[in-house]
Amino acid sequence: MRKTIALWLAAGIVGFCIFPWYSVESGFWSFSWLFSEFLSEDAAPALFQALLYGRWWFVPLALAFVGIGLSFALLKDERTRAKALVILSMTGLALLFAQGFAIGRVGPELFIDALNFGSAAAGQVGFGSGAMITAGALLFILTTSISGLGQGRGDAFIVGSIGLIIALVITFVFYPVSQILIRAFEASDGGIDIALFFTRFFSSDIWSLACLVGGKTCGPAWNSVFLAVLTGAGTTLLGLAFALVATKTAFPAKKLLRVLTIIPIITPPFVIGLALILMFGRAGVVTDVLHDVFDISKSRWLYGFSGIYLAQLLSFTPIAFLVLIGVVEGVSPSMEEASQTLNASQWQTFKNVTWPLMRPGLANAFLLGFIESIADFGNPLVLGGNFNVLSTEIYFAIVGAVADPSRAAVLAVVLLMLTLSAFVAQRLWLGKKSYATVTGKADSGQHSPLNSALKWTCYGFALPWAAFTAVVYSMIVFGSFVKLWGYDNTFTLDHYIRAFSVSFNNGIRWTGVAWDSYFTTLTISTIAAPLTAVVGLLTAYLLVRQKFAGKNLFEFSTMLSFAIPGTVIGVAYIMAFNTPPIELTGTSIILIIVFVFRNMPVGVRGGIAAMSQLDKSLDEASITLGANSFTTVRKVILPLMGPAILAALAYSFVRAITSVSAVIFLVSARHNMATSFIVGRVEHGEYGIAIAYSSVLIITMLVAILLLQVVIGQRKLRRQNRLQTSNKNNELASA
Amino acid sequence: MKNALLGGLAAVGLLAALPATASAEELNMVCGAEQDWCELMARGFEDETGNEVLMVRKSTGETLAQVRAEASNPKIDVWWGGTGDPHLIAAFEGLTQDPGVDTSDLLGWASNMHKISNGGTVGIYAGALGIAYNSEVLEERGLPAPACWKDLTNPAYTGEIQVANPNSSGTAYTELATFVQLFGEEEAYRLLTEIGKNVNQYTKSGSAPSKAAARGETTISIGFMHDMVKLAGSGFPLKIVAPCEGTGYEVGAVSVIKGAKHPELAKQFVEYALRPDVQSRSVEVKSFQVPSNSKASVAPESPDLASIKLIDYDFATYGERSTRERLLKRWNEEVKNASH
């Protein structure tokens, strides 16, 4: 305990006295702040800002550090010392943020009258590395001291992790989101009006049920719920069918099936919608054939609920599959064998053993499908017709001809509430049962095959769907090689040449128009993916394995950023991070952060699903043998989490590449993203280049996922991962 | 414990790697036109002045939302291109500033934009509203070709017309305001309701209907004629109609954001964007809007504004918030509710 605190105290002092407090113009990595600019006004650390430039508001913070150092050195009683450190480090954190918020870029923002003198009146810029290190050090002194008081079983790693995640979620989810949600309560004169909020909230614009009684459309809220429930159920079923086919049948082309189920997840937005239009739209290929052969009249059935539903099933089934495959694989064959030994039929085994054990997976897959559907923006935009859903309504409330941020905020609250309901429903369904099937005991069972009725049902769902996916994607690839997709099908390579040409005069020059955004996208996603996986899985570990107060709230708060539509997040991030103390707009950091916190829920969900299958006795054995919780995580849990880690890494990488709505507001000239580029092309009808670019992205992501799969590999459960091959052996034995 | 510490240190170290904010003497430009045109403008200005232009393309609605959110510490210097409506809103909300450029060479509608916005925004191009139809589908269905706005009320067109929703699209709002100015408010709403019965979808985006018509997803669309010209030019069987009653138009604009970090450079850019030789280059990237500088050359494919009956579009009145809200409310109550 003492050593940890000493180290963090040292880190804090270094952050306060050596690193530049503010963000430096020339960039952190130039390191000029350490040499030529060390004591310049821009790059000086907090200590010298106070001594040389009259920034007196760092003095209280310095005093807090002195206090921490003194109590650390002088107080002998462990509990008294811990208590003193808790109070002092909290004071330090409060002082740090208070000065940041109180004194803005052009002078004081809070307590204006009291502060408006001297150097405070001149203002200050955003936090830099010094402030970040100092804040981190104070946070970990706080959590280490709290664990010193006996909280979290006195485990500094656990309390530190909880503290870190809470701090991150508050800074990068709550703080920005509150900036925009507060506007739901804003009256037209700028004041706060609670009654007005309820009027808006229950407005028939949002909740109308007219479609049930007349021909008119329902409100966007009901449309969204209806769509999300069906999408959640549909993707879970299809994902389950795929997962069962992949693990419990002897289907020959499993590898191909797996690739097919992954491709939709790595498809940039709009592309699936466009492909569907070209197939099933009024002038689509399939429509034409049906018209010519069967005389079915050409209609616009695709535009509206049916089109969105189809596109969402295509897009989100893979997510359900990724969650469920780990779960289905993890269901212990021993339990299935025990059931069969007790004379249960294959169907009874499935119904009474396998199915209940898959419940956490099913519930998580459904929840993800539901939330994805409700927050989906690209598909409703392209295929929505007159079927309005919340996500597009929110987008147009912000960017439409009549911008109405308070309406957007109200709609966002509705959307959040729907997500919360789904979350609660999921918890109720799962209850408090244990779903652990991976224990420390050797398990030499074999996965029981599905009974044939179930097997053919799974085939019946999965195979046509796989074929359909294959057709949709052939259309897309085809589209990138023809002059005018859907109209003039002359072969051409123009789109690829325009986007990705390279010239070899004087070394390699990337002359194609897409290279810039392509490289940026890859860099940012590569940085964001491992961070997302770490944050997501750490959170999952805390949620599944640790008990602490406010756990449910903690769990929901980690889901928050996922449930809020990207548009709202994008605008919220600009509002929160455009001005000091945390000034990030126009940098690549803001893109990385938005990806990490938007995609971490997938890591969390997948991690929870996988971890609730790991028996606690594994951890306990490790702890009993003297390992601390960090070692346990590293040596016991992580190796068993292979599929979940893979899913989290792959998914966050892919989402960072394909997400669009949040990113549109945050991209800048220096850091433009591929999707933003593609959407711009789609907006102006240049489908050829958009689709060529998308195809390249799809292949890039596919390669990345395959590489990940090779690197991470499969977890070894000391089970034979093969199916019982009927009863040949028995027959041989009896013969 | 040591591992935990190392992990924590690494995390803090990563957070510490905060970069600098964008450094000086580069022009930050947001562009609302299509990518190729944006590139042409940005690179052209770079070549001529030697200054670096950091350009990103965003739709006008998104740009306006960003400009509003960034008002206290703007990161954009100049906003070039895109329909003038959001530029005007930004100007009326005090989010832009007068670049202080000479507008004497500009055509009436462009300098008018400058005047009514108190210098907040300047017109750079204009494009008229029109009707387009897919000649192949029209023939297949045996429908007559429309020539006037009033033709669109023909019940034969039921489910064949697509137009954007004025609540989300500036194009469609221009259409609504054009109808009101052309026919008077009562008659305009009566006509729009009649046409509404033929509309198969009110799209969110203003350019979507013509794209749908090009592919035969709908038969008839309403939108800006230069978009239609571009689609027809790329090979789609799209025929363009200048309505016989006359029509309204949009003015694309350029604005300097209030509090821009590089106002001098932004002013230079606006001057550059208004020059006749620069405006004449738009045809290189197949953009067929009519340039605002009277000395610029007009592409032969551009819809000839002189041969189209253009109304005297009142941007001051119809760009104003209260008018806009009133017209849209009425549209929602009468036109939207009459559609199916």
What would the pLDDT profile of A300-348 be if each residue is shown by its tens digit? 888 888 899 999 998 888 878 877 887 777 777 777 788 888 888 878 8
The pLDDT value given to residue A727? 40
Judge contact between A447 and A337, C-beta under 8 A.
Answer: no
Cβ–Cβ below 8 Å for A665 and B3 = no
Given the structure tokens 């509002």, which residue do they identify? A575
Question: What does the mean pLDDT of chain B come to?
Answer: 86
Asked whether A239 and A317 are in contact (CB, 8 A), the reply is yes
Nearest CA to B73 out of A33, A583, A210, A451 is that of A583
Residue A265 in this model has a pLDDT that exceeds 80: no
Pair (B208, B276) in one structural domain: no
Question: pLDDT for A44-54, tens place per residue?
Answer: 888 888 888 88
Q: Tens of pLDDT along A376-418? A: 888 888 888 778 888 888 888 887 777 777 888 888 888 888 8
Fold match between A206-478 and A516-673?
A: yes
Q: Residue A729, Cβ neighbours under 10 Å: how many?
A: 10
In a domain, B267, yes or no: yes
Compare all CA atoms of chain A with the CA of B16 and give the residue at the minimum distance. A129
Q: DSSP states of B265-286 as a string?
A: HHHHHHHHHH-HHHHGGGGGGT
A531 or A29, greater pLDDT? A531
Contact between residue B236 and residue B200 where contact means Cβ atoms under 8 Å apart: no
Most confident of the ranges A213-217, A576-580, B42-46: B42-46
The yes-or-no verdict on residue A134 having pLDDT over 90 is yes
ipTM over 0.90: no
Whole-number pLDDT of residue B276: 92
Residues B202 and B284 in one domain: no
- B53 plus B91 within the same structural domain: yes
Look at residue B15 and tell me whether its pLDDT is greater than 50.
no
pLDDT of residue A705: 82
What is the overall mean pLDDT for chain A?
A: 82
Residues 170-229 of A with CB under 8 A from B: 215-216
Q: Residue A733: is its pLDDT beyond 50?
A: no
Give the lowest-confidence range in A545-549, A721-725, B33-37, B162-166: A721-725
Residue A434 pLDDT: 63
Of the listed ranges A335-349, B112-126, B127-141, the least confidently predicted one is: A335-349
Q: Are A9 and A137 in contact (CB under 8 A)?
A: yes
Residue B151 has a pLDDT of 94
How far is residue A95's CA from residue A98's CA, in Å, rounded to a whole number? 5
Query: Taking CB atoms and an 8 Å cutoff, what residues of chain B touch A386?
Result: 201-202, 339
Interface size A-B, in CB pairs within 8 Å, comes to 223
Domain span at B263 = 26-127+249-299
pLDDT at A56 over 60: yes
**Same-domain check for residues B133 and B122:** no
B122 shares its domain with B269: yes
Q: Which residue of B has its CA nearest to A403?
A: B65
Within a domain: B98: yes
Tokens in use for A530? 């491992």
Nearest CA in chain A to B28: A669
B259: in domain: yes
The tens digit of pLDDT for each residue in A342-372 reads 888 878 887 888 788 888 888 888 888 888 8
- Total domains in chain B come to 2
Q: Indicate if B230 and B268 belong to the same structural domain.
A: no
- Gap between the Cα atoms of A686 and A485, Å rounded: 10
Whether A607 contacts A537, CB under 8 Å: yes
Query: Which of A226-240, A437-451, A498-512, A696-710 has the highest mean predicted lDDT (pLDDT)?
Result: A226-240
Residue A442 — pLDDT band, cuts 50, 70, 90? Answer: low
For residue A687, which phi and psi values (nearest 5 degrees)?
A: -65, -35
Give the model's pLDDT for residue A30: 74
CATH for B224: 3.40.190.10
**One-letter identity of residue B49:** T
Pairing of strands B220-224, B122-134: antiparallel
For residues A330 and A612, is the Cβ–Cβ distance under 8 A?
A: no
Q: Answer yes or no: are the C-beta atoms of A433 and A707 closer than 8 Å.
A: no
> How far apart (Å, rounded) are the C-alpha atoms in residues B115 and B92?
12
pTM: 0.81
Which tokens is B198 given? 């033929």
User: Using CB atoms, which residue from A133, A400, A587 is nearest to B16?
Assistant: A133
Task: Give CA–CA dist B321/B318, Å, rounded.
Answer: 8
Q: How far is CA A702 from each of CA A650, A705, A707, A708, B199, rounded to the nearest angstrom?
A: 10, 5, 9, 10, 42
Write the single-letter amino acid at A558.
T
pLDDT of A14 above 70: yes
Residue with more model confidence, A697 or A630: A697
d(CA A258, CA B320): 55
Q: How far is A212 from chain B (nearest CA, A)?
A: 14
A385: burial class by Cβ within 10 Å (0-12, 13-18, 19+)? Answer: buried
Give the Cβ contact number of residue A166 at 10 Å.
18
Site of tokens 């897919």: B134
Tell me the DSSP string of A110-130: SSHHHH-SHHHHH----B-HH
Same domain, residue pair B43 and B98? yes
Chain B contact present for A337, CB below 8 A: no
The secondary structure of residue A331, as a DSSP letter, is S
pLDDT for A593 = 92
Q: Would residue B289 be called left, alpha or beta, if left means φ above 0 and alpha means ψ between -120 and 50 degrees?
A: beta
Residues ≥6 apart with Cβ < 8 Å to B275? B293
Q: What is the pLDDT of residue A729?
A: 40
Does B83 fall in a domain?
A: yes
**Nearest of A253, A232, A258 to residue A312 by alpha carbon:** A232
The pLDDT of residue B20 is above 70 = no
Under 8 Å between Cβ of A379 and A271: no
The first and second tokens of residue A438, run together, are: 């991976």
Question: Is the pLDDT score of B265 beyond 90?
Answer: yes
pLDDT band at A216 (very low <50, low <70, confident <90, very high): low
Q: What percent of chain A has pLDDT over 70?
A: 92
Task: Give A586's contacts in chain B (Cβ within 8 Å).
Answer: 21-22, 75
Bridge-based pairing of strands B220-224 and B290-291 is: unpaired
CB contact under 8 A, B5 and A589: no
Closest residue, chain B, to A157 (C-alpha): B4
Task: Count Cα atoms within 13 angstroms, Cβ side, for A508.
Answer: 6
pLDDT tens, position by position, B21-78: 444 478 999 998 888 899 899 999 999 888 889 988 888 888 898 898 888 888 899 9
* Residue that the structure tokens 């020339």 belong to: A26
Query: Are residues B222 and B118 both part of a single domain?
Result: no
pLDDT in tens, A692-716: 998 899 889 888 888 887 877 655 5
Whether B239 and B263 share a structural domain: no
* Helix, strand or coil, per DSSP, at residue B106: strand
Confidence tier at A142 by pLDDT (50, 70, 90): very high
Please give the structure tokens belonging to residue A32: 């000029």
How does DSSP classify residue B111? H
* Residue B173 and residue B38 share a domain: no
Whether B164 maps to a domain, the answer reads: yes
Q: With contacts defined as CB-CB under 8 Å, which chain B residues touch A575?
A: 69
Which tens digits make up the pLDDT trace of A475-497? Answer: 888 888 888 877 778 888 888 98
Which of A115-124, A438-447, A700-709 reaches the highest mean pLDDT?
A: A700-709
- Among the ranges given (A147-156, B4-13, B167-176, B179-188), the one the predictor scored with the smallest mean pLDDT: B4-13
Q: How many CB atoms lie within 10 A of CB B105?
A: 15
Residues B80 and B156 in one domain: no
Residues B178, B129 contacting (CB under 8 angstroms) = yes
Contact A579 B73 (CB under 8 A): yes
Contact (Cβ atoms closer than 8 angstroms) between residue A177 and residue A565: no
Kindly list the residues from chain B whose CB atom is less than 8 angstroms away from the CB atom of residue A157.
Answer: 1, 4
**pLDDT of amino acid A215:** 62
Residue A337 and residue A620 in contact, taking contact as beta carbons nearer than 8 Å: no
At B175-221, the pLDDT tens digits run 999 999 999 999 999 999 999 999 988 887 788 899 889 988 899 99
Domain match, B179 and B205 both: yes
Question: Which residues, 6+ apart, have CB-to-CB distance to B317 below 8 Å?
Answer: B323
Q: How many CA atoms lie within 13 A of A213 on its CB side?
A: 4
Q: Which of A449-458, A725-734, B162-171, B212-221 has the lowest mean pLDDT?
A: A725-734
The per-residue pLDDT for A445 is 61
CATH class of A206-478: mainly alpha
Residue A538: count other Cβ atoms within 10 Å of its Cβ: 20
| Residues within 8 A of B (CB atoms), A 346-375 only | none
- How far is the C-alpha of B126 from the C-alpha of A216, rounded, in Å? 38
How confident is the model at residue A519, as a pLDDT? 92
Chain A segment 575-594 residues within 8 A of B by beta carbon are 575, 578-579, 583-589
Q: Identify the bridge partners of residue B238 per DSSP, sorted by sequence position.
A: B134
Q: What is the pLDDT of residue B24?
A: 43
Q: What's the confidence (pLDDT) of residue A432?
A: 64
What is the second-level CATH architecture of the domain A516-673?
Answer: Orthogonal Bundle (1.10)
**Residue A628 pLDDT:** 79
List pLDDT tens digits, range A219-239: 888 889 999 999 999 999 998
Interface contact B230-A685, CB threshold 8 A:
yes
Taking only residues 628 to 687 of chain A, the set having a beta carbon closer than 8 angstroms to any beta carbon of chain B reads 628, 630-631, 634, 664-665, 667-670, 672, 676-677, 680-681, 683-686
- Cα A502 from Cα A490, distance rounded (Å): 24
Percent of chain A with pLDDT over 90: 13
Delimit the domains of chain A by residue range. 2-149, 206-478, 516-673
